Structure 1
């Protein structure tokens, strides 16, 4: 990444706003937030807790109650509160950097606007919903001379750091092939990809992009090579009207099967989330916006998260396989599927001298020479979004803040060029799935 020279100081209550680029800062890094949903608010909390000194100067979020709650918690001035990110972008630059966590379809417009103002950018994945828009975002950041980091959090987890160290050190010899599974989880899939914001390709994008661009990026990071060709197969096989059980209804709250025979009943997720902590509470908060009996009941009765999974308007795949060929002939197979428990990703890496097996937390190295197995526990917590992606969320935010505050861009593992290239692989894989052909890059 290139770095611009000093930016003139702004007024309007945001004094001493000098750029950090090229040298460490002698003051807290300032951060604006565009979109304070589940991901935006989560990153904001991690930024406030990080060891790097940071000051939150602006929040743009249409849900006023949520925005004001966050503003109070993080001591954001009234003049830094906006109901739309465009209002923030219409002002002179109010921070060194901006976190963009608006809906996927809005990434292009927001990224171009904030890059043009000179903000360094932390952009939630996916970069954009078309390969053309990905290229435009990359071009906008490079033309403006700002850094843009994509939230491919998997690269930053302690598990990934340790796994890549083992691969790069040659513990299993030369890598020949990889087998990688993303077990989305049956009720996570029902929440996000049948009832939720990512259920339709025309409103968000296809599932491989919205859910698994992380994994395609992670594979390239681990093997350290570029993809040459890709094939893919998959479909929406189960969550369809013709598979609705006899006697089921449009909404779970009045369905006679909800309490007995339906694995995907909304009550099973959101009412349990209301009573218990953990992952299900995370999803309940998204569905109902607040954790009260009244709010959850209202969401089930009137909102999208109370719909029957067989009678929604979803159209994205519920299972897909992707085959990848890398430079030098190395191959990888990737599977995403809805039909699993909620659990960590599973990976096997096959080398000329051994095999590495990982589950998002533990790594087993099997040595062909000695027949010995070495087990390594990275002890990083759960790998889901509610648990911080196994430390990846915290690792990303910490690296981003430290890189900008200390002038150390080498800490950013998911810069605009790297992320642009792995996004192109994702779009190629979807083209391969739709056409039934091998796509060469």
Structure 2
């Protein structure tokens, strides 16, 4: 579909979702990195509902690859999302997957033109910008959803169903762990784009706003009070083993270090799974710009940020953190995020008045106090990582948003403006509590 010939600016969908749309939605992908590309590929699975018709991406190779794959005309390939501001509206939806620091500027500007917005998390890197995005969406009457994919997974849908049915009685407390994974943390939060707060955002926001949002969704109540503790403990110069050099390729310990970049990314080359699967392969594509060759990896590790020693980088985000929540109804919750785990799914225990629920993102076990019996529910779909589709959450989120707009079913969107704004406020309050050592009331 060419938006310049088949859809006029006045004919693009508005925030009025009262009736189904009689044509496929058109989507502009802003940011052709891992997330933008993944969502574009999911859109392509439903050509009768939506089509990718424009892309904005500063890296020529990434822009060209996405444009070629989705048959985007040359005149709808842009270097920067700001290039769209000089043009009449050219798509129904702007899918914003640019760097976190640009979310506020992109979302507010594009909302002003009338684009419907699907926005990667976090909403923005500070509370004022989150408020500004929400206000722009309300003022312009657009439908905005944030990619809190955990709300949409089959696992979450089943878990909430069990709770509604009273499987464990009333929720009393909750314990939730995000095991980021040792090499994932080293890749993204020591060497990668989210290693520094001044260049991205706090770790709790960039990595775990999903989890704070999910916990609030599960409890179904407003958070009343929050405290938090955490720090950067291990990935510091003083923790470097004797003999470590500044770069893994020149380090005598590169074959024995748990955080060796040469081991991680060369393993990514050897990952025998499909090109779009496997966490290490996924990360290696990020490092090399998509070129999966020994030479590309060697060049990247010799000169690029991903070849740095994890003990001698310029990172400053915590490598472990806990958050304590008290909800308005008295339910308490404890959340832990940590780098020091295998790469695996989140673990949750929900303690109820009549039983306990234990979940791992796929399997849900109910223990009934009265019968002392355990019942297992398996919701198996995709794997937990971004490379594997976040347990089916990526597909379910995108389908819900597309069906809401295309089919006139706004109730399918469960990560809209108000819900996201509320959970982001909790994250900012938790960060304030961590820095001040106090308890923050919301």
> TM-score interval w.r.t. the shorter chain?
over 0.9
State the partner residue of 1:5: none
Query: Helix, strand or coil for the counterpart of 1:110?
Result: helix
State the partner residue of 1:135: 131
Query: Helix, strand or coil for the counterpart of 1:423?
Result: helix
State the partner residue of 2:162: 166
Query: Helix, strand or coil for the counterpart of 1:218?
Result: helix
- Correspondence 1:354-365 to 2 at 5 A: 354-365=355-366
TM-score by length of 1: 0.96
Displacement of 1:267 after TM fit? 1.3
State the partner residue of 2:53: 57
Whether the 8 Å CA contact 1:52–1:405 is kept in 2: the answer is no
Inter-partner Cα distance in structure 2 for 1:42 and 1:220 = 27
The reply to whether residue 255 of structure 1 matches residue 251 of structure 2 is yes
Whether the 8 Å CA contact 2:3–2:26 is kept in 1: the answer is no
State the partner residue of 2:283: 283
Inter-partner Cα distance in structure 1 for 2:6 and 2:309 = 49
State the partner residue of 1:295: 296
Displacement of 1:50 after TM fit? 3.2
The reply to whether residue 145 of structure 1 matches residue 141 of structure 2 is yes
Q: Which runs of 5+ in 1 are unaligned?
A: 1-9
TM-score by length of 2: 0.96
Whether the 8 Å CA contact 1:38–1:286 is kept in 2: the answer is yes
Displacement of 1:189 after TM fit? 0.2
Inter-partner Cα distance in structure 2 for 1:52 and 1:198 = 36
Displacement of 1:167 after TM fit? 1.0
Alpha-carbon distance change, 256 to 11 in structure 1, aligned in 2, over 3 angstroms: closer
1:135-159 deviation per Cα after TM superposition (whole angstroms, max 9, x unaligned): 0110010001001100000011101
1:85-126 deviation per Cα after TM superposition (whole angstroms, max 9, x unaligned): 000222111111110000000001000111001011000000
Displacement of 1:363 after TM fit? 0.3
Structure 1 ranges of 4+ moved more than 6 A:
none
State the partner residue of 2:331: 330
Tell which deviates more after alignment, 37-46 or 11-20: 11-20
Alpha-carbon distance change, 139 to 273 in structure 1, aligned in 2, over 3 angstroms: same
**1:271 maps to which of 266, 277, 283:** 266
Alpha-carbon distance change, 11 to 34 in structure 1, aligned in 2, over 3 angstroms: closer
State the partner residue of 1:34: 30
Whether the 8 Å CA contact 1:24–1:405 is kept in 2: the answer is yes
State the partner residue of 1:74: 70
State the partner residue of 2:12: 19
The reply to whether residue 203 of structure 1 matches residue 213 of structure 2 is no
State the partner residue of 1:409: 410
1:285-340 deviation per Cα after TM superposition (whole angstroms, max 9, x unaligned): 01111212111111100000000000000000000000000011000000000000
Tell which deviates more after alignment, 410-419 or 268-277: 268-277
Whether the 8 Å CA contact 1:14–1:94 is kept in 2: the answer is no
State the partner residue of 1:423: 424
Aligned residues: 431
Displacement of 1:19 after TM fit? 3.4
State the partner residue of 1:86: 82
Inter-partner Cα distance in structure 2 for 1:89 and 1:125 = 22
Query: Helix, strand or coil for the counterpart of 2:391?
Result: helix
Inter-partner Cα distance in structure 2 for 1:53 and 1:323 = 42
Whether the 8 Å CA contact 1:52–1:398 is kept in 2: the answer is no
1:203-246 deviation per Cα after TM superposition (whole angstroms, max 9, x unaligned): 00110000000000000111111100000000000000111111
Query: Helix, strand or coil for the counterpart of 1:389?
Result: coil
Displacement of 1:68 after TM fit? 1.5
Query: Helix, strand or coil for the counterpart of 2:229?
Result: strand
Inter-partner Cα distance in structure 2 for 1:13 and 1:431 = 51
- Correspondence 1:316-327 to 2 at 5 A: 316-327=317-328
Inter-partner Cα distance in structure 1 for 2:226 and 2:243 = 43
Whether the 8 Å CA contact 1:52–1:402 is kept in 2: the answer is no
| CA RMSD, Structure 1 to Structure 2 (Å) | 1.2
Inter-partner Cα distance in structure 2 for 1:51 and 1:288 = 31
State the partner residue of 2:229: 233
1:399-420 deviation per Cα after TM superposition (whole angstroms, max 9, x unaligned): 1111110111100010011100
Displacement of 1:381 after TM fit? 2.5
**1:187 maps to which of 183, 186, 205:** 183
Inter-partner Cα distance in structure 1 for 2:395 and 2:85 = 27
Inter-partner Cα distance in structure 2 for 1:376 and 1:154 = 18
Q: Which runs of 5+ in 2 are unaligned?
A: none
Inter-partner Cα distance in structure 2 for 1:167 and 1:52 = 36
